Chain A
Amino acid sequence: MPSSCVPLATESSHADRAHSLVRFTEIAKSFGPVRALDGVDLTIEAGECLGLVGHNGAGKSTLINLLTGALAPTSGSMEVAGAPGSVHDPRAARALGIRCVFQELSLCPNLTVAENTRLVHPGLRGWNWSRRAASLIEAALDTVFPGHRIRAGATVASLSLTERQMVEIARAFTTTDIAPRLVILDEPTSSLDASTASQLLAHIGRVTQRGCSVLLVTHMLHEVLESADRIAVMSDGRVVGCDPAGVHDRDSLVALMSGGTHRASVARLAADRRTGSSQVLRATPKGGEPLVANQGEVIGLGGLAGHGQTEFLVDLFSARTMAMVAGDRKRDGVFPLWSIGENISVGAYRKHLRHGLLNLASEEASAEEWRGRMKIRAPDMGNPILSLSGGNQQKALFARALDSDAGIILMDDPMRGVDVQTKQDVYAMIRAQAAAGRTFLWYTTEMDELYECDRVYVFREGRIMAALGPDEITEERVLQASF
């Protein structure tokens, strides 16, 4: 079946527009033997919000890279703003008004917010440019995230991940010489909490009204269902469906993405199974209520993003008894020059020692085993870890933690940017490992993941505000304690 996402004139609400802003025809992109895009037809109309969903590895990143001029297509034709020809480099993309907020944040941490704004606005020059850059970004932040409390003079390194992402998003909507015509948002809410995320979605509504297009790439299906005019679903380098958002619900999207396999929600283990298991951890963050974990429990840490959950886990971490799954892969997780296998075995060298020396064959065998268990999509575990997509890198980091002999696994919002199917696999693995006696402390910003936990502690401003038992974990209870 041809992969097509060109709205028929009779069906489209945008049929009156003469030109689509972006028109991809039969676009293919290969990297050596790998076909990342396999004949994609896609249009983005002026003033629409197009949602783009799909697995990690479905081709979304490649599609974005074509739009931003970072890559050129192998074949097919691309038309932007009525002008045929590909966007041959990032500068050309910028001149056409294409802006992109990347999933891996792209701000320079050593510069201030204002200076980072200047970087993308060469027009801000001459006397007093820094004041002008500051007021530009502050105005954008005020518009997108009212009540944000970010100073333009602050160094990016001093901001939390959430704040950085807010700056990155706001920066994409600033205008000096060229007004944005298409803003690409790649997992924009992955580090945002519920309230800032809804501010962003509201802003998307406003800018599309004014004729600017938005490409919203996300794993948060409810967001595309709420905000997008149309939703394109990608799978294996093709667009497998593209319909007005109204015809979809969560289940139909998941079904399209995963080829029809959709799980029923995992039943929580009954609380009485936990009685009699021994307490393995007791810690009191910032003098609030204590957190208690028993062996074999999955403990959720909830609350809004950036309320001390990460700091609590990092402080709690002790190498002897615990393993950590980092949330900020680049900073805390990946050894960029190492192979996938080496990245997994780093927490468990003891297992591979023969006469005091590392046995490379044993290490490789273990890597192979994890490839199967975690379904890591790599032809060879000796490949560099950076050859994997973000979600698969995250799987390798999970494998690292599970491969260690640590009894307690700390997880720092590890599912950011991970696709639906992988999440289900990992949830199942966490369940199995907990049943085998491991304890999990799981900070997550997603309500769905808190449902996977036995008990939940809700954080606010570094303190535990509520401890919810198995029957008390509801969205209302969590939100109540969060605000």
Chain B
Amino acid sequence: MSEVAREVPGLPVPKSGARKRFAFLLSLTLLGLLLLLWVILAISTDSFATTGNFVNLMRQASLWTIIAIGQTFVIITAGIDLSVGAVVGLASTVVAMLLVAHVPIALACLITLAMGVAIGMFHGFAIVQMRLPPFITTLATLTALRGIGLLMTGGQTIAGFPRSFGAFSRGAVLGIPNLFWMVILVAIPAGLLLHQTRWGRHIYAAGSNPEAARLSGINVGRTIYLAYIISATLAAFAGILTASRIGIGVATTGDGWELQSIASSVIGGTSLFGAVGTVIGPVLGAILLTTINNGANLLNVNPFWQRVITGGLIIVIVYFDQRRRRRS
């Protein structure tokens, strides 16, 4: 051992798999924090530990989780997707208009998802081909897509869905809300894609060192397309689920959700500098944020404090991320 180790010069020997262990520890910490919050809320309020509230919490968390997972793919490539909230709004409008026009539910959902794919492709095109910074690209589509939604509806809400569409989001299988099943449906393939396939490695590589990635034979442009398509498609999916949940199509749905998704992702350990992140992270991050919001409501905390708490949490997490980077 010592004979081998002696050859390593100049620098302390980092312990094996330090990065993965940090991710694991962070997940455990978040999980612990989440359970602690749940226990505290269950003790301090009468209504938290009720089935109704819990189901409601899981439904709300589901929507944020799904967009946070997409956001994570983008952030790992060292990008950012500010448009997800707007995509949620537009998708809920589009699916609503299709349903009201008596398009079959499955087809309406497919068309809406295809729109998400198209938006993601446009982001990829702007970033890869036109070489626009991701921040600017998605900031532009954030405002433009909101505008398109409002133009399509004239600012009106769209109501009159088939009953079964709305019933889906209220239903449950094996005691778990359907919406949360959708999280599982998204998170497991996303986790496999990110952690177990070469495409996943390509995403990390593109965020870590794009030139080295290119010279290692990775098609960096295609990888960036992939990340933005995943993000926009999952946002469109969340838009469909939102429409189902609230029973109407409103162009302004999902206002500010881009920040919720970024916060969930970052709280879950994704580094805004790219190349670091997991799928379990944003899941836990989104549930934690939802719990804070839900608990604050139940405790009659001024809802404006929720924003302050979220901001504070981001600063603490990013600070620890920075410290870890400086050490390594």
Task: Give A contacts to B, CB under 8 Å.
Answer: 31-36, 56-62, 65, 236-237, 314, 317, 319-320, 322-324, 326, 331-339, 342, 346-347, 349-350, 353, 356-358, 377-380, 382-384, 386-389, 392, 400, 404, 406
11 extra A-B contacts, CB within 8 A, seeds A332-B215, A349-B201, A382-B17? A35-B6, A57-B6, A57-B8, A65-B10, A319-B217, A332-B212, A335-B209, A337-B208, A357-B196, A358-B198, A388-B8
Complex CA distance for A380 and B219, rounded to whole angstroms: 30
10 A-B Cβ contacts within 8 A? Answer: A31-B8, A57-B7, A236-B7, A324-B216, A332-B212, A336-B209, A338-B208, A350-B198, A378-B4, A389-B8
Q: Report yes or no: A379 in contact with B4, Cβ–Cβ below 8 A.
A: yes
Q: A332-B215, A386-B328, A387-B13 are in contact. Are A34 and B198 (CB under 8 A)?
A: no
Number of A-B contacts (CB under 8 A): 137
Chain B residues positioned under 8 Å from A60 (CB to CB): 9
Partner of B13, one of A31, A59, A237, A392: A31
Complex CA distance for A35 and B2, rounded to whole angstroms: 9
Q: At the interface, yes or no: B18 with Cβ under 8 Å from chain A? A: yes
Complex CA distance for A60 and B14, rounded to whole angstroms: 20
Complex CA distance for A57 and B10, rounded to whole angstroms: 8
* A337, A379, A383, A384, most chain B CB atoms within 10 A: A337
Q: A34-B13, A383-B16, A389-B9 are in contact. Are A332 and B196 (CB under 8 A)?
A: no
Q: A33-B2, A346-B201, A358-B197 are in contact. Are A334 and B7 (CB under 8 A)?
A: no
* A314, A338, A350, A386, most chain B CB atoms within 10 A: A338
Chain B residues positioned under 8 Å from A334 (CB to CB): 209, 212
Complex CA distance for A326 and B209, rounded to whole angstroms: 13
Chain B residues positioned under 8 Å from A333 (CB to CB): 209, 212, 215
Chain B residues positioned under 8 Å from A347 (CB to CB): 216-217
Complex CA distance for A218 and B4, rounded to whole angstroms: 23
Distance from A411 Cβ to chain B, minimum over Cβ atoms (Å): 12
B202-214 vs A, Cβ < 8 Å mask (1 yes, 0 no): 0011001101111
Complex CA distance for A377 and B8, rounded to whole angstroms: 7
Chain B residues positioned under 8 Å from A404 (CB to CB): 217
Partner of B17, one of A62, A339, A379: A339
Q: At the interface, yes or no: B68 with Cβ under 8 Å from chain A? A: no
Q: Report yes or no: A337 in contact with B215, Cβ–Cβ below 8 A.
A: no
Q: Report yes or no: B328 in contact with A62, Cβ–Cβ below 8 A.
A: no
Q: Report yes or no: B6 in contact with A237, Cβ–Cβ below 8 A.
A: yes
Distance from A304 Cβ to chain B, minimum over Cβ atoms (Å): 23
Q: At the interface, yes or no: B174 with Cβ under 8 Å from chain A? A: no
Q: Report yes or no: A356 in contact with B5, Cβ–Cβ below 8 A.
A: no
Chain A residues positioned under 8 Å from B218 (CB to CB): 319, 346
User: What band does the interface of chain B fall in when counting residues whose beta carbon is under 8 Å from A?
Assistant: 35 or more
Q: Report yes or no: B9 in contact with A62, Cβ–Cβ below 8 A.
A: yes
Distance from B197 Cβ to chain A, minimum over Cβ atoms (Å): 6
Complex CA distance for A346 and B18, rounded to whole angstroms: 19
Q: At the interface, yes or no: B308 with Cβ under 8 Å from chain A? A: no
Chain B residues positioned under 8 Å from A331 (CB to CB): 209, 211-212
Q: A332-B215, A346-B218 are in contact. Are A378 and B276 (CB under 8 A)?
A: no
Residue of A nearest to B8 (CB): A34
Distance from B11 Cβ to chain A, minimum over Cβ atoms (Å): 6
Q: Report yes or no: B14 in contact with A387, Cβ–Cβ below 8 A.
A: yes
Complex CA distance for A185 and B249, rounded to whole angstroms: 68
Q: At the interface, yes or no: B246 with Cβ under 8 Å from chain A? A: no
Partner of B212, one of A31, A58, A65, A335: A335
Residue of B nearest to A64 (CB): B10
Complex CA distance for A450 and B51, rounded to whole angstroms: 76
Complex CA distance for A151 and B213, rounded to whole angstroms: 33
Residue of A nearest to B192 (CB): A357
Q: At the interface, yes or no: B58 with Cβ under 8 Å from chain A? A: no
Q: Report yes or no: B205 in contact with A387, Cβ–Cβ below 8 A.
A: no
Complex CA distance for A387 and B16, rounded to whole angstroms: 10
Residue of B nearest to A38 (CB): B6
Partner of B12, one of A31, A237, A324, A353: A31
Complex CA distance for A339 and B201, rounded to whole angstroms: 13
Residue of A nearest to B17 (CB): A382
Residue of A nearest to B2 (CB): A33
Chain A residues positioned under 8 Å from B197 (CB to CB): 356-358
Complex CA distance for A392 and B5, rounded to whole angstroms: 13
Distance from A25 Cβ to chain B, minimum over Cβ atoms (Å): 21
Chain B residues positioned under 8 Å from A342 (CB to CB): 201
Q: At the interface, yes or no: B275 with Cβ under 8 Å from chain A? A: yes
Complex CA distance for A338 and B219, rounded to whole angstroms: 19
Complex CA distance for A177 and B205, rounded to whole angstroms: 45
Chain B residues positioned under 8 Å from A357 (CB to CB): 192, 196-197
Distance from A321 Cβ to chain B, minimum over Cβ atoms (Å): 10
Complex CA distance for A60 and B6, rounded to whole angstroms: 13
Q: At the interface, yes or no: B102 with Cβ under 8 Å from chain A? A: no
Chain B residues positioned under 8 Å from A337 (CB to CB): 19, 208, 275-276
Chain B residues positioned under 8 Å from A323 (CB to CB): 216-217
B16-47 vs A, Cβ < 8 Å mask (1 yes, 0 no): 11110000000000000000000000000000
Distance from A366 Cβ to chain B, minimum over Cβ atoms (Å): 14
Q: At the interface, yes or no: B1 with Cβ under 8 Å from chain A? A: yes
Complex CA distance for A479 and B75, rounded to whole angstroms: 50
Residue of A nearest to B3 (CB): A236
Q: A358-B196, A389-B9 are in contact. Are A384 and B14 (CB under 8 A)?
A: yes
Complex CA distance for A326 and B212, rounded to whole angstroms: 8
Distance from B257 Cβ to chain A, minimum over Cβ atoms (Å): 29
Residue of B nearest to A328 (CB): B211
Chain B residues positioned under 8 Å from A317 (CB to CB): 215
Complex CA distance for A236 and B198, rounded to whole angstroms: 39
Partner of A383, one of B2, B13, B200: B13
Chain A residues positioned under 8 Å from B212 (CB to CB): 326, 331-335
Q: Report yes or no: B208 in contact with A378, Cβ–Cβ below 8 A.
A: no
Distance from B45 Cβ to chain A, minimum over Cβ atoms (Å): 42
Complex CA distance for A350 and B217, rounded to whole angstroms: 12
Distance from A353 Cβ to chain B, minimum over Cβ atoms (Å): 7
Task: For the complex of A and B, list the 6 residue pairs with the smallest distance between their C-beta atoms, beginning with the closest.
Answer: A349-B198, A377-B7, A61-B10, A319-B217, A31-B12, A324-B215
Q: Report yes or no: B201 in contact with A59, Cβ–Cβ below 8 A.
A: no
Distance from A68 Cβ to chain B, minimum over Cβ atoms (Å): 12
Chain A residues positioned under 8 Å from B204 (CB to CB): 335, 338
Complex CA distance for A349 and B204, rounded to whole angstroms: 14
* A58, A332, A387, A404, most chain B CB atoms within 10 A: A387
Chain B residues positioned under 8 Å from A320 (CB to CB): 217
- State which residues 109-133 of B face A: CB under 8 Å: none
Complex CA distance for A467 and B12, rounded to whole angstroms: 47
Partner of B211, one of A332, A346, A353, A388: A332
Residue of B nearest to A56 (CB): B9
Complex CA distance for A335 and B209, rounded to whole angstroms: 6
Complex CA distance for A314 and B219, rounded to whole angstroms: 15
Q: Report yes or no: A378 in contact with B8, Cβ–Cβ below 8 A.
A: yes
Partner of A406, one of B18, B205, B214, B217: B217
Distance from A368 Cβ to chain B, minimum over Cβ atoms (Å): 13
* A36, A57, A60, A356, most chain B CB atoms within 10 A: A36
Partner of A62, one of B10, B13, B213, B214: B10
Distance from B48 Cβ to chain A, minimum over Cβ atoms (Å): 39
Residue of A nearest to B275 (CB): A337
Complex CA distance for A46 and B246, rounded to whole angstroms: 81
